[in-house]
Amino acid sequence: MQLPKILKTISRTLLKHNARAIVVGGAVRDYFLKLPIKDYDIEVFGLDDVEQLEAILKEFGSVNLVGQSFGVLKLHYQDEEYDFSFPRLECKVGKGHRGFEVETDGSMSFKEASARRDFTVNAMGYDIAKKLFLDPFNAQEDVNAKLLRHINDTSFIEDPLRVYRAVQFCARFGYSLAPETKDLCIKMVKDGLLEELPKERVYAEFVKLLLKSPKPSVGFELMRELAVLDYFPELQAIIGTPQDKKWHPEGDVWVHTMLCVDVMAGELGRDTKQNLKHMFATLCHDFGKATATTVEDGRIRAIGHEHTGVELAKSFMLRLTNEHSFIESILPLVEHHLKPSQFYVAKSKDKAIRKLATKVNIEELVTVAKADFLGRTTPEALLGKYEAGEWLLKKAQHLKVENRPLDNLLQGRDLMELELIPSPKFKKILNAVYALQIEGSICNKEEALEYVKNRYC
């Protein structure tokens, strides 16, 4: 296992104190999964206390104690950061993720310390000095079988978030849940253990599922199997909601939504916040069909679902986060997700496109609408090209409104320069000018000033 030189140097120093440094957690797991290793966590065995470890690490860089009760130290060396910790045992004494009694003990064995971890694949270690992998729970067998298996029933149940961790791990790594782990997760959900989880922790697992999985649908299907969707009625409601086979031969709204999120996962860029916005908007875009769908004479319709879906998307997001500005940024994408296709069919005029830009970011809208279009099995979708989106985006770029509305040509100060007296009438005048900009009747500041002179001066 290739390691940064500084960790080898620290390992040699620790040996002089009869201590050993073991790389633990995700770094070792990702090594066996042949994934890039981004972070290194090191557990130190053989020292008397955290203060001794802190004194040793200070020889190499700045050290911050971030969790005294957990015995966690962050070492800043050059431009990198490494987490060092003491072996510990955790005992559940109360509700929530803070309801643990923690005991650190440098004399503990690696197997004892790793037994507190959630899954076997996260319980492996790498002894730096001995250049030896440690695998007390036969995780390598699970890696080869692509199985996610928990270590201990009692400790696993103590933190119900592990159900969500199981979901996102399976989706990210293409693993299946071991039968006994799946049964335990189902029991935890049935017993209501997930109710104690704060939304912030659940949201963090959703973020990993949506942004780190090649196919997030794997995780959502697993949530469905584990009955986790009982906590998210907006998602549960679209299961079995029928669709017109002409437009959606792939199946019900759930099937379509799962295809859509997988499409979007393949379209993500570098902006994490924007990626998350697009993923959530795609996940929520058809929530309204659960209430708007009607079946008459064999004809399935969901008229207005894009509007009824706004409140459902909002309620769903509020179950996960209190970031109201982020939630509000998602809602226009849900409300207008049909517009690119509708505008393309109608060959809508410039005015309609300029007006749309005042309600939603057209570039982002096309991204979400493309996932909606390609997340189905119609012959057109299977070609992999979204002509309606390309048409709208090209038109919006020509009008310079692809990612922002038109700027107001006039401000209040411009009206004052025309010797108009400030009053509530200013807003009416500026709105009238802007409406003419949207129509295309006024194209520059000179024309705007001339209009005001003729009409109001």
Domains (range + CATH), the chain: 5-139 (3.30.460.10), 267-406 (no CATH), 412-456 (no CATH)
Q: Which ranges of 178-230 would DSSP assign to H, the alpha helix?
A: 179-190, 199-212, 216-226
Distance in angstroms (rounded) separating the CA atoms of residues 98 and 370: 43
pLDDT at 107: 85
pLDDT, position 160? 96
Per-residue pLDDT, 70:
63
Residue 397 has φ and ψ, to the nearest 5°, of -65, -40
- Residue 193 gets the label, from left (phi > 0), alpha (psi -120 to 50) or beta, of alpha
DSSP state of 150: B
Q: What confidence score (pLDDT) does residue 92 get?
A: 56
Residue 14: the pLDDT is: 96
> In the prediction, which pLDDT does 94 show?
56
CB atoms within 10 A of CB 64: 11
Grouping H, G, I as helix, E, B as strand and the rest as coil, residue 299 is strand
pLDDT at 100: 52
Which pLDDT score is estimated for 339? 98
What are the 10-residue block averages of pLDDT along the chain, 457 residues in total? 95 96 95 92 93 93 76 89 86 55 79 93 97 96 96 93 98 97 98 95 98 98 98 98 95 98 96 97 98 93 97 98 98 98 97 98 98 97 96 98 96 93 94 96 95 91
pLDDT of res. 88:
78
How far are the Cα atoms of 103, 270, 341, 343 from residue 42, in angstroms, in the given order?
A: 18, 29, 53, 56
pTM of the predicted model as reported, rounded to 2 decimal places = 0.92
